Amino acid sequence: MEQRLSLITVGVKNLTKMREYYEKVFLWRPVSENENIVFYQLNGFMLSFYPEHLLAKEVHENDTRTGFKPFSLAINYTSTAEVDDIFSLLKQRGVVVLKEPEDVFWGGYSGYVSDPENNLWEICYNPFMNFDKNMNVVGQEAL
């Protein structure tokens, strides 16, 4: 199996609310959508939101799971100042801040926000991650 990523699909409770949030707060624009799914082109892969009850049905699972989601999505920036600027902007837009940016144990600088369905977004500066000119990840140095 190839080591690559094409699409992340996040099961959501309220697709309309999630779409509105990502368009108004993150200022993202969908590249494709219908009444059951919305796709956003990110750097090198796609992110989609899909109703969790339909996703559960698709994979033959019970859709009654609740609570903490054991994953986070991350957006890396090129400096701590850039992270601070993004946090300032997101706060102006009413984003729920779970953790203010701070120096972290692994040597980076990181904070967390959540979307309306408590999906975690880490906004960070990782001095060990290498990017190309389009901010696509091209490598990771040893921590």
- The verdict on residue 76 lying in a domain is yes
**Does residue 46 share a domain with residue 92?**
no
- pLDDT score recorded for residue 116: 93
What are the respective helix, strand and coil percentages of the chain, to the nearest 5? 20, 35, 40
Q: What is the CATH number of the domain that holds 55?
A: 3.10.180.10
Question: What pTM was estimated for this model as a whole?
Answer: 0.79
Question: Residue 12 sits in which domain range?
Answer: 1-61
Calculate what percentage of the chain has a pLDDT beyond 90.
57
**Does residue 94 share a domain with residue 45?**
no
Task: Identify the residue with better confidence: 51 or 70.
Answer: 51
Closest CA to 90 of 29, 9, 142, 21: 21
Q: Which of 61, 90, 111 is the last residue of a domain?
A: 61
Confidence of residue 139 (pLDDT cuts 50, 70, 90): confident
Confidence of residue 101 (pLDDT cuts 50, 70, 90): very high
How many domains is the chain partitioned into structurally?
A: 2
**Does residue 14 share a domain with residue 39?**
yes
CA 30 – CA 109 distance, rounded (Å): 29
Strand duo 120-125 + 109-114: pairing: antiparallel
- The verdict on residue 117 lying in a domain is yes
Q: Which of 42, 61, 80 is the last residue of a domain?
A: 61
Contacts of 57 (CB under 8 A, 6+ apart): 63
Q: Which of 61, 80, 105 is the last residue of a domain?
A: 61
- The verdict on residue 20 lying in a domain is yes
User: How does pLDDT run across 85-100, given as a tens digit for each residue?
Assistant: 999 999 999 999 999 9
| Count of Cβ atoms closer than 10 Å to residue 68 Cβ | 7
User: How does pLDDT run across 23-64, given as a tens digit for each residue?
Assistant: 999 999 999 999 999 999 898 888 999 998 888 887 667 755
The residue with tokens 């094409």 is 6
Q: How many residues does the chain have?
A: 143
- pLDDT score recorded for residue 2: 67
- pLDDT score recorded for residue 65: 62
Q: What is the mean pLDDT of the chain?
A: 88
CA 119 – CA 82 distance, rounded (Å): 22
Lowest mean pLDDT, pick from 29-43, 59-73, 102-116: 59-73
